[in-house]
Amino acid sequence: MKTLDGRHAVVTGAGSGIGRATAELLALSGARVTLIGRHVGRLSETADRIGDDAFAAPGDVTDPDSLAAAIDAGRDRFGPIDILVNNAGGASSAPFLKAGAGDLRAMLALNLEAPAEAIRLVLDGMITRRQGRIVNVASTAGLKGYGYVSSYVAAKHGLVGLTRALALEVASKGVTVNAVCPGFTDTDMVARSVETIVGKTGRSEDEARAALASGNPQGRLITADEVAETIVWLCGDGASGVNGAAITVAGGEL
């Protein structure tokens, strides 16, 4: 059903994984979608898969000028922005004492500061039109601790906190702000985690994937499509009463 007809959505990290799945589902729901990310080839491939309702706007979300230029290009193409999905993110893995302050700064820049900047660039227009949906893709790491990824956990906790605080500010202004918190999801980021586990422990790839899936009581990795379904639901009118939520998609892990 075209439940989002006429709405303009911006998705960061749209070239693969959860971002690509979300962009495709938003388009199927009637939205026009601006795709933002660093990998031009992946963005172009996603745009080609979607068709005329997608526009690839390459940009680095950690560079405020680059991010602003990408969002402005999308606005020029499809008009005012009704939906923002802050999906771009990443994790680094190291014991806390070996990670260093630079690791924390990098994780905060990518997973917290970039989403906040994207929100700054679109929120005023949403408030003026009294219509807007902001969905921040956090993680179960935004709700609990995991060892050896302390910087990532700290950043995602910050993103959930930002979501909850901002939701209160805009609750009466026609805008909702929510977070989706996936567990380990079958994406490129998990594939990199598997490589790290294999390299450091000598386990096989299957054993490494099983170790990651074991935290999910369903005994499996979450799929990108499952996360996308939740995100797109939050973008629709049927979720207008959901605000400040941190929804887990993790098979019961939390």
Choice among 78, 152, 184, 233 that is catalytic: 152
Asked whether residue 45 falls in the same domain as residue 59, the answer is yes
pLDDT digits (tens, 9 = 90+) for 14-69: 999 999 999 999 999 999 999 999 999 999 999 999 999 999 999 999 999 999 99
Asked whether residue 172 falls in the same domain as residue 67, the answer is yes
Owning domain of residue 168:
8-183+226-237
Q: Round to whole Å and give the CA distance between 70 and 39.
A: 13
Residue 252 burial class via C-beta count within 10 angstroms: exposed 0-12, middle 13-18, buried 19 and up: exposed
Asked whether residue 191 falls in the same domain as residue 173, the answer is no
248 within domain boundaries:
no
Q: What is residue 4's predicted lDDT score, i.e. its pLDDT?
A: 96
Asked whether residue 89 falls in the same domain as residue 203, the answer is no
Q: Round to whole Å and give the CA distance between 44 and 34.
A: 11
pLDDT digits (tens, 9 = 90+) for 153-172: 999 999 999 999 999 999 99
Q: Where are the alpha helices (DSSP H) in the chain?
A: 17-28, 40-50, 64-78, 96-108, 114-129, 150-170, 188-201, 205-213, 224-235
243 within domain boundaries:
no
Pairing state between β 132-137 and 175-182:
parallel
Reference 215, options 157, 145, 168; nearest CA is: 145
Residues of the chain where predicted confidence (pLDDT) is lower than 50: none
250 within domain boundaries:
no
Q: What is residue 55's predicted lDDT score, i.e. its pLDDT?
A: 98
Asked whether residue 230 falls in the same domain as residue 132, the answer is yes
- How large is the greatest C-alpha to C-alpha distance in the chain, in angstroms? 55
Asked whether residue 100 falls in the same domain as residue 209, the answer is no
Q: b vs e for 32-68, b when ≥16 Cβ sit within 10 Å of the residue's Cβ? A: bbbbbbbeeebbebbbeebeebbbbbbbbbbeeebbe
CA atoms within 13 A on the CB side of 3: 11
Phi, psi of 149 (to 5 degrees): -135, 45
Asked whether residue 141 falls in the same domain as residue 30, the answer is yes
Asked whether residue 198 falls in the same domain as residue 133, the answer is no
Asked whether residue 209 falls in the same domain as residue 103, the answer is no
Q: Any catalytic annotation for residue 148?
A: no
Under 8 Å between Cβ of 129 and 81: no
Q: What is residue 188's predicted lDDT score, i.e. its pLDDT?
A: 73
75 within domain boundaries:
yes
Asked whether residue 50 falls in the same domain as residue 171, the answer is yes
Q: What is residue 1's predicted lDDT score, i.e. its pLDDT?
A: 66
Query: Residue 66 is part of a domain; what is its CATH number?
Result: 3.40.50.720
Asked whether residue 190 falls in the same domain as residue 111, the answer is no
**Helix, strand, or coil (residue 27):** helix
Number of structural domains, the chain?
2
203 within domain boundaries:
yes
